[in-house]
Amino acid sequence: MKCPYCDHSETKVLDSRDAEDLELTRRRRECEKCGKRFTTYERVEMLDLFVIKKDGHKEKFARDKLLSGIRKACVKLPVTEEQLEELVDAVERDLRRRASTEIPSSKLGELVLKRLKKVNEIAYIRFASVYRSFDDLDTFVKEVEALQNE
């Protein structure tokens, strides 16, 4: 880290702590040449995630789009906004822990379904009906029966 006063490249860290929002790290530094102190803030730069759609094209992962789809499945159900945010946070954490920055939409849908089932079974069925493109009543009934047999 270069000193903002004398441009010397050797500085030492005197104090380091997480900022209030936990996305920043605040570091108090001292230049080893001029002795002046200054503060820096570090933020982890996240790589962009991409969703590979069924037709093969890539789309940048959009957290808000995912949240919106889940929210639609939860309309008029006893699911709080906090639960939805936690669900999307958990899915995004899973995606970021993967070796690849690209994920097939089918895998993303399965990650959501796995968590949504624990939040609300009706929301799970609603989301599954859109995500899995239920073509007829039989498919819908089979999914409900599978859910009941678990």
82, 16: one domain? no
136, 70: one domain? yes
35, 58: one domain? no
Number of folded domains that form the chain: 2
pLDDT of residue 21: 57
> What is the dihedral sign for C-alpha 4, 9, 14, 18?
positive
Please indicate whether residue 19 or residue 102 has the higher confidence score (pLDDT). 102
109, 138: one domain? yes
The pTM assigned to this predicted structure is 0.69
54, 39: one domain? no
Rounded Cα–Cα distance for residues 5 and 8 (Å): 8
Task: Please return the burial class of 28, using the count of CB atoms within 10 Å of its CB with bins 0-12, 13-18 and 19+.
Answer: middle
**Domain interval for residue 94:** 50-148
* For residue 20, pLDDT beyond 90: no
For residue 50, give both structure tokens.
């991409």
pLDDT of residue 138: 86
* For residue 14, pLDDT beyond 60: yes
Beta bridge partner(s), residue 31: 11
Domain contains 138: yes
22, 59: one domain? no
